[in-house]
Amino acid sequence: MTFPRLIALALAGIIALSGCSHKAKPVPIEGLELIKDEIRLFEMKVPTNWFKQQRKGDLIISTTTPAIGNRFLKFGKGEGGGKIELRVIPIDSSNPSIDTIIKRSKLEFEDNLDRYTPSQATLGGKPATKLSVKFDQEDGEFQLESYFAENDSLVTIVTVAAFGKTFEDYQKEFAEVLASVKLAQRPVVVAKTETATPLGPEPPSDTLRFYNAPDFSIEIPQNFEGKKGQSSGISSMSFLGSRFDCTIQVDVFDASKQNDLNKIIDQNKARYQGAGQVGTTINGQKAYYFNYNPAANVAARAYFTVKGNKMFRITLNWYKPEQAVYLPLFERCVATVKLK
């Protein structure tokens, strides 16, 4: 059994299990619609009936359900399903070439083997590099294809992926999605005129509201909603607002067989890029957290604590360029947690 871990732009916490033959039931694609970006003028078709989010200037993402988006960040157990994503990364001092971006987008496996198959392709009428990877998980094979093409010193990355051995069910639609892509370009600079500021994602409310669950309670931003998360434990709740990549998730696990927090931390280190743990407290209980980077421009923190025979994991994800907005508020939310 091998364990992949993240570097820079990749996803987190994948557990690759060998010999799996399971297959999930695919969520059908009922049609495709074209999504256009007003700032960098990229475009791509996405399924009309899938959950979708757009961040002007650099992101279009569509997943079979809202809940599975979190699985693509953490790669734990969960439902089968797929993802279509277009992401734009500028060539700059942090990412000096397309080769740098391709390298940072790969999952890094514990045995240091590179399991990706590179090949040449086209995207948006330009030469592109295609990376393919697949490996077994408990619920069936995970498969991913990412396409990288450069235009106007901007790298457009289009990724199609699926859990539960459902990739083959979407191949026809994935091909149509890829054929619809228009690459990003830098906007033309024009003289400033007085125009209304375009509306972006709604920031989290400074006003907190009380949320009570069977195993815990927490105060969350007034404009956040709670949804049942995916977890193999006792319970899981995810809280999110208008940004797909800014969330609070609380997972509760049975710790009757192992409630030694230090041993739990040692067992989980490898899943968080080898980061060192930081000591803290939650509701008066001894706790630790790991800081890590699950994706491009996304930072995260995972807290662990134990009370009685329950282990609690609180995971924060936030958009790095808006860290000053999200992180202090999310820390306030963690400080309100009451363990039951």
Closest residue by Cα to residue 230 from 181, 164, 136, 321: 164
Q: DSSP readout, 159-188?
A: EEEESTT-GGGGHHHHHHHHHT-B---PPP
Model pLDDT for residues 239-294, shown as the tens digit of each residue: 988 888 899 999 999 999 999 999 999 988 888 766 789 999 999 999 999 998 88
Look up the CATH architecture of domain 208-339. Answer: 3-Layer(aba) Sandwich (3.40)
Model pLDDT for residues 49-102, shown as the tens digit of each residue: 999 999 888 999 999 988 887 788 777 777 788 999 999 999 888 788 999 999
Model pLDDT for residues 289-329, shown as the tens digit of each residue: 999 888 878 899 999 999 999 999 999 999 888 898 899 99
| Helices and strands counted in the chain (H then E) | 5, 21
Is-above-0.85 flag for pTM? no
Fold of the CATH domain 4-179: Protein Transport Mog1p; Chain A (3.40.1000)
Residue intervals of the chain classified under CATH 3.40.1000.10 are: 4-179, 208-339
